């Protein structure tokens, strides 16, 4: 597990959560829309990375049941206590969509008997401004934490102006062993959409816009009631969550309006006990969810089309972890899920479809301490994913898609010499009925269940306190994503690479405490070659160029103030992280790309109240 703490978040040059995950979490991100809510991808799933990486906010699912990226940019960075990243699984505890991994964002709770606050303001390249404020007011039993932010920027591209407001709050009541709370939030975003650039435009005018009139707007709110207290030998806890999102997008000449509502309930019990004289914990719970979706598309000259969808799911699980010996820990668990989908579409044609599926997940893991410094581990797991409403809306067969299933295998070793930590692992994920959009399965492409596919790779990470004032950290990942078998539209893709999966990902970070109140940070991130989207048969003669980005940040503290200056993309690298082969005539040259920003300068000041 990778843990990113509040101190690391404050040190980093990122101003949004997707940027932070790419800098510190080993998470590959890509921009295929011009939105700050970038796609996230753990362990090489390419264009379906969002659907195979589960995002949690304080343990509650954030992913919507459509193809839109999770609204990560709406979470103010100063509201985050820590981020826990679990590559490859955790389907037993959290359910579907975790095959690539799980990212749990844990926000700051009110600190008892403390009144404090902070204000932050920054300005930088492309008329970028960032204003944040946070407050904590808490007594012995009742407390309130609030964090709000406003972000705006003209951005690197023309017609890519961003305006975003966000609020996250936490009301917490503690009375002895009883805890109760309400977490709530809201966000509002307005964004202009510049579209793709063809090869000529990318060479001569990368900042231009192909779609100068396109735009999107969204509004969202959420609330989660939580309760916990002991019940005899058990610790009982439950979360009741509600979330809604309304969005409108104009893609000339059509208007797309989407409304989404979800209600979730997750009660669970935790039983600590002793087994063979060693501590053990058994967790058992139920996850219930009700998700509703409605989309209206207005297109001049054609009948208005609408899609409504529901998904109702129930999952039960049990998860055990305990010490078999002083050096050996065992983890095992199982989950049974039931998901019922219903989809109704009208417009050029009318369809009314539904199905119920019962996927399951399991986990068996063992870790063993060879010595105080060496530890080895191994894990076997199964996971699943149920198709979302967008994927079921355009299928090759016309039928709703089967659930995707996966078998995960992983082994690793960890070494902890004094002042350092090194971790190495290898993994293999074999998938059946992988849910995927293929441009070659039928004319103009469709979603389908693939023949067997595989993800495999090796990961290496480490951190080292070289001196009391100098810290180093780095990571490297080698990823292989392949179609094991399969022929689509008469094209055999057996043994071919899955597009949009970089073979290598690497990062290196340095943090230097220059003086008592002065800090300097530097970071480099490398993304290797990858196949363009739409190149499933690997017949296109070129691959997306590799690129390396370097950032630096200088921070100075003075009394209750902190001043920072940061340079991102220090060497003004010209690059893109999403490109596609133009088989559908989108831009008129062999490939279309989304150019990314060059050198970006940003200065800020923050004041803490205590």
SS3 of 523-582? EEEEECCECCECCCCCCCCCCECCEEEEEEEEEEEECCEEEEEEEECCCCCCCEEEEEEC
- Rounded to whole angstroms, the Cα distance separating 62 from 66 reads 12
- Using alpha carbons only, give the angle 358, 360, 365 rounded to the nearest 5 degrees: 175
- Structure token digits, residue 142: 């009742």
Query: Which residue shows structure tokens 């990961």?
Result: 459
Domains (range + CATH), the chain: 2-178+188-197+215-515+525-557+568-609 (2.40.170.20)
Q: What is the pTM of this model?
A: 0.94
Query: How confident is the model at residue 348, as a pLDDT?
Result: 65
Query: How confident is the model at residue 74, as a pLDDT?
Result: 84
Q: Which residues contact 264 (CB under 8 A, 6 or more apart)?
A: 60, 61, 239, 240, 241, 242, 287, 288, 289, 290
Q: What is the DSSP string of 263-291?
A: EEEEEEEEEEEEETTEEEEEEEEEEEEEE
Low-confidence residues of the chain, pLDDT below 70? 348-349
Query: How confident is the model at residue 77, as a pLDDT?
Result: 86
Cis peptide, bond prior to residue 253, ω within 30 of zero: yes
Residue-wise pLDDT tens digits, 385-423: 999 999 998 898 889 999 999 999 999 999 999 899 999
Query: How confident is the model at residue 345, as a pLDDT?
Result: 87
């Amino acid at each position: 597990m990778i843990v990113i703490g509040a101190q690391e978040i404050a040190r980093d040059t990122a101003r949004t959560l997707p940027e932070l995950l790419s800098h510190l979490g080993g998470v590959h991100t890509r921009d295929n829309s011009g939105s700050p809510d970038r796609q996230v991808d753990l362990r090489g799933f390419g264009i379906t990375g969002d659907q195979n990486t589960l995002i949690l906010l304080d343990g509650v699912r954030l992913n919507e049941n459509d193809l839109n990226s999770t609204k990560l940019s709406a979470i103010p960075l100063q509201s985050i206590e820590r981020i826990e990243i679990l590559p490859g699984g955790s389907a037993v505890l959290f359910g579907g969509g975790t095959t690539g991994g799980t990212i749990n964002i844990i926000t700051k709770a009110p600190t008892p008997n403390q009144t404090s606050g902070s204000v932050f303001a920054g300005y930088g390249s492309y008329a970028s401004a960032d204003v944040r404020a946070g407050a904590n007011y808490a007594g012995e039993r009742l407390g309130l934490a609030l964090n709000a932010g406003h972000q705006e920027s003209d951005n690197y591209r023309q017609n890519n102006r961003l305006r975003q407001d966000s609020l996250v709050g936490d009301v917490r009541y503690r009375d002895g062993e009883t805890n109760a709370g309400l977490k709530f939030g809201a966000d509002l975003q307005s964004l202009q959409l510049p579209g793709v650039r063809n090869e000529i435009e990318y060479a001569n005018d990368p900042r231009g816009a192909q779609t100068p009139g396109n735009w999107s707007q969204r509004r969202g709110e959420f609330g989660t009631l939580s309760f916990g207290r002991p019940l005899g030998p058990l610790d009982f806890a439950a979360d009741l969550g509600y979330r809604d999102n309304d969005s409108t997008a104009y893609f000339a000449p059509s208007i797309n309006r989407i409304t989404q509502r979800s209600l979730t309930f997750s009660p669970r019990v935790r039983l600590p006990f002793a087994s063979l004289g060693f501590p053990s914990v058994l967790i058992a719970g139920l996850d219930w969810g009700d998700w509703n979706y409605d989309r209206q598309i207005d297109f001049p000259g054609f009948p208005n089309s609408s899609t409504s969808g529901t998904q109702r799911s129930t999952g039960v699980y049990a998860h055990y972890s305990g010490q078999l010996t002083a050096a050996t820990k065992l983890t095992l668990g199982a989950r049974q899920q039931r998901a019922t989908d219903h989809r109704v579409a009208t417009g050029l044609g009318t369809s009314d479809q539904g199905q119920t599926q019962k996927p399951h997940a399991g986990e068996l893991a063992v870790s063993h301490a060879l010595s105080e410094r060496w530890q080895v581990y191994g894990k076997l797991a199964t996971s699943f994913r149920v198709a979302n409403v967008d994927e079921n809306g355009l299928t090759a067969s016309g039928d709703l898609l089967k659930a995707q299933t996966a078998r995960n295998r992983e082994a690793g070793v960890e070494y902890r010499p004094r002042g350092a930590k090194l971790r190495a692992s290898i993994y293999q994920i074999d998938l059946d009925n992988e849910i995927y959009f293929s441009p070659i399965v039928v004319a103009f492409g469709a979603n389908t269940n693939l023949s067997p596919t595989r993800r495999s790779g090796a990961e290496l990470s480490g951190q080292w306190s070289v001196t009391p004032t100098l810290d180093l950290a780095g990571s490297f990942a080698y990823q292989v994503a392949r179609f094991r078998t399969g022929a689509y539209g008469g094209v055999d893709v057996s043994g071919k690479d899955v597009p949009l999966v970089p073979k290598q990902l690497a990062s290196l970070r340095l943090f230097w405490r220059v003086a008592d109140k002065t800090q300097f940070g530097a970071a480099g991130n490398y993304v290797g070659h990858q196949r363009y989207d739409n190149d499933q048969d690997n017949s296109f003669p070129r691959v997306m160029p590799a690129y390396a980005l370097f950032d630096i940040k200088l921070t100075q503290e003075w009394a209750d103030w902190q001043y920072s200056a940061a340079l991102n993309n220090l060497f003004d690298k010209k690059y893109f992280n999403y490109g596609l082969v133009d088989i559908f005539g989108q831009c008129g040259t062999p490939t279309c790309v989304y150019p990314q920003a060059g050198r970006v300068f940003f200065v800020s000041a923050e004041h803490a109240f205590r």
